[in-house]
Amino acid sequence: MPFSELIGQDRALGALRSALSRGALHHAYLFAGPEGVGKGTAARLLAQAGNCDRAVRDGVAPAVDPCGQCGPCRKIAHGTHPDVIALAQERVMAKAGRWEPKGGRTPSKDIVVDQVRDLVDHRLSLRRFEGRRRFVLIDPADAMNAQAQNALLKTLEEPPEDTTLVLVASRPDALLPTIRSRCARLSFAPLPEATITERLAAAGRSTEDARLAAALSAGSLSRAVRIGDELEAERKSGDRRESAAEDAAAIDPDDASTWIGFAARHGHDRETASATCELLQVWLRDVLAFQAAGAAAPLALGDLAGRTAAAAGALAPADVLRRGEAARDAAAALRQNASPALALERMLIGWFHGELR
């Protein structure tokens, strides 16, 4: 699989190809960006390109794209290459039989200091077995706790010869500044909605489900696929995710009991409340699109075209924007452990009476 198979990441991949072509890979990279945009795949492809036999076979070196077919490429794809070391959360590695926590304790959801010490003191102290270059892929690197990060610092400063460490992180700010400063950072961008929609449609999703999943995905293809599966399951069960937006559109601004009822129905747990906030942001964006382009606007929530048209005619664009901001604020509050029902009630106060101070 060549780098070109990764969509929407030309800038980051161009930097990697340039480094490979010059034989000047950095000793440590930080691949930063949202979940599900190809960071982990890019890390694996980099390890394959650095060890691909095609360049040797064809007399062209170094390779800037892995062939995916030679022995090293296949071993790396299957996770069996001795010179490509993968580090993941302790419980993930324990479940796969690749790590046993010391003292018989329950595996942690973090990457712990014992794992990093085993990497640094044992695995990196050995000479390479067969590869031209050794790679250490830490994914997700932001799962390393503070002790583990500190244990990695000296290796990032002085890595073994012909070794590249790749730290993959969706939350790079969770890494210590001393870690970030020792890595060459490559940013991976959210994928365009149109690209995700095309991919989902090509995989057999309906146009409507593909648009909605892409709109809710925050630029993550893997998240879009998961949402698409959920939408399909909801339709089979008779549920409709869009009902939350329909309920919001039907709220009586002058009857606070309807606000409380909405918050109770859609805020009974954090996951449901968060999904509701995301859906409302998408619907309000549809309202803005309808105000700009009328019936020609491509709507993520096609089932709600009538409600959307009515809201577009009844609200000023500034009001729609304010409501979208209130929904974003509610989603942020939920991430900080706010009460789900209270977060939705506060959002509706912002909708109908301006920002609550």
Between 54 and 210, whose confidence is greater? 210
Looking at residues 51-75, what average pLDDT do you find? 82
Q: How far apart are CA 346 and CA 355, in angstroms?
A: 9
- φ, ψ of residue 136 to 5 degrees: the values are -115, 120
pLDDT tens sequence across 149-200: 999 999 998 889 999 999 999 999 999 999 999 999 999 999 999 999 999 9
- Per the CB < 8 A criterion, the answer to whether 83 and 130 are in contact is yes
- Model pLDDT, residue 357: 37
pLDDT tens sequence across 219-241: 999 999 999 998 888 877 777 77
- Model pLDDT, residue 298: 87
Amino acid in the structure at residue 77: A
Torsion angle of C-alpha atoms 319, 322, 324, 325, degrees rounded to 10: 180
Q: How far apart are CA 244 and CA 337, in angstroms?
A: 21
- Per the CB < 8 A criterion, the answer to whether 95 and 113 are in contact is no
User: Is pLDDT of 123 > 70?
Assistant: yes
- Per the CB < 8 A criterion, the answer to whether 155 and 115 are in contact is no
- φ, ψ of residue 138 to 5 degrees: the values are -105, 105
Which residues are paired to 134 by β-bridges?
A: 163
Work out the mean pLDDT of the chain and round it to a whole number. Answer: 91
- Model pLDDT, residue 239: 73
Q: How would residue 356 be classed by pLDDT, with cut points 50, 70 and 90?
A: very low
- Model pLDDT, residue 1: 62
Torsion angle of C-alpha atoms 270, 271, 277, 283, degrees rounded to 10: -160
Q: How far apart are CA 99 and CA 107, in angstroms?
A: 9
- Per the CB < 8 A criterion, the answer to whether 117 and 154 are in contact is no
- Residue the block writes with tokens 């329950």: 106
- Model pLDDT, residue 59: 64
pLDDT tens sequence across 262-282: 999 999 999 999 999 999 999
Looking at residues 319-335, what average pLDDT do you find? 94
Closest CA relative to residue 345, chosen from 336, 281, 335, 329: 329
Angle between helices 340-353 and 256-266 (to 10 degrees): 140
User: Is pLDDT of 257 > 60?
Assistant: yes
Looking at residues 71-79, what average pLDDT do you find? 95
Q: Which residues contact 283 (CB under 8 A, 6 or more apart)?
A: 245, 248, 249, 300, 301, 304, 308
pLDDT tens sequence across 126-157: 888 998 999 999 999 999 999 999 999 999 98
Q: Degrees (nearest 5) of the Cα angle 49, 50, 53? A: 70
- φ, ψ of residue 195 to 5 degrees: the values are -65, -45
Q: How far apart are CA 279 and CA 268, in angstroms?
A: 16
The DSSP code for 90 is H
Longest Cα–Cα distance in the chain: 76
Q: How far apart are CA 329 and CA 24, in angstroms?
A: 44
- The first and second tokens of residue 280, run together, are 């409302």
Looking at residues 59-86, what average pLDDT do you find? 88
User: Is pLDDT of 77 > 50?
Assistant: yes
